[in-house]
Amino acid sequence: SDRTQQVGTTATSTVKDTSLTPKTYSVTQTPAGEVNEGDTLTTTVSTTGVGEGESLYWSVSGDVDADDFDAGELSGSATVNAAGTVVVNHAIKADEATEGDETMEMSFYSDSDRTQQVGATATSTVKDTSLTPKTYSVTQTPVGEVNEGDTLTTTVSTTGVGEGESLYWSVSGDV
């Protein structure tokens, strides 16, 4: 049969390729949850369905700034390797400044404008290991002795002691 004469109308269908793997992104950090000043925080994005050589764009937010790193930036890009991963390292500076713990949030995006986030934001606490040692200095007025009925004032001056931190005292001797 030559099939030269059409009968009826043409029916059109689209065949969906269901063999395509959907893109997934899993963001992890080592160490997980917190990193000490002086250590390196490694952020890894493990992907599926993302082609080798595709770019991912990242940015850091939170309490940290560029001065908190010996190596690493606040934003950048990296390409997915043959294993489907992207690895970004930040060497946290041991800055010897008491500033308290800081939060570092790392987010990844599929576009350079950083509007299409992929994966979850990874959050770590940068532990302040450069705490100023606590010092205490005690002075009394008047110095040396006080008469009964007079006031003795004892003053404790400190460094490295947090506001609101309690100090305890006791009296001893023949009082």
3-class SS of residue 123: strand
pTM metric for this prediction? 0.66
Q: CB–CB of 103/64 below 8 Å? A: yes
**How does DSSP assign 35-101, residue by residue?**
EETTSEEEEEEEEES--TT-EEEEEEEES--GGGEEE--SEEEEE--TTSEEEEEEEE---------
Give the mean pLDDT of 16-32: 86
Residue-wise pLDDT tens digits, 80-90: 999 999 999 99
46-66: pLDDT as tens digits: 999 999 999 999 999 999 999
Q: Contact 157/137 with Cβ under 8 angstroms?
A: yes
- Determine the pLDDT at residue 35: 94
By C-alpha distance, which of 74, 75, 77, 89 is closest to 42?
89
* pLDDT higher than threshold 80 for residue 127: yes
Name the least confident of 22-31, 118-127, 166-175: 166-175
Amino acid at 3: R
Q: What percent of the chain has pLDDT over 70?
A: 97
Q: What is the pLDDT of residue 152?
A: 86
Place of tokens 């800055």: 95
Tokens found for residue 35:
């990193």
pLDDT at 128 over 80: yes
Please tell me the distance from the alpha carbon of residue 38 to that of residue 40, in angstroms, as a whole number: 7
- pLDDT over 70 at 158, yes or no: yes
Q: What per-residue string of b and e applies to 72-81 under the rule 16 or more CB within 10 Å gives b?
A: beeeeebebe
Provide the pLDDT for residue 132: 67
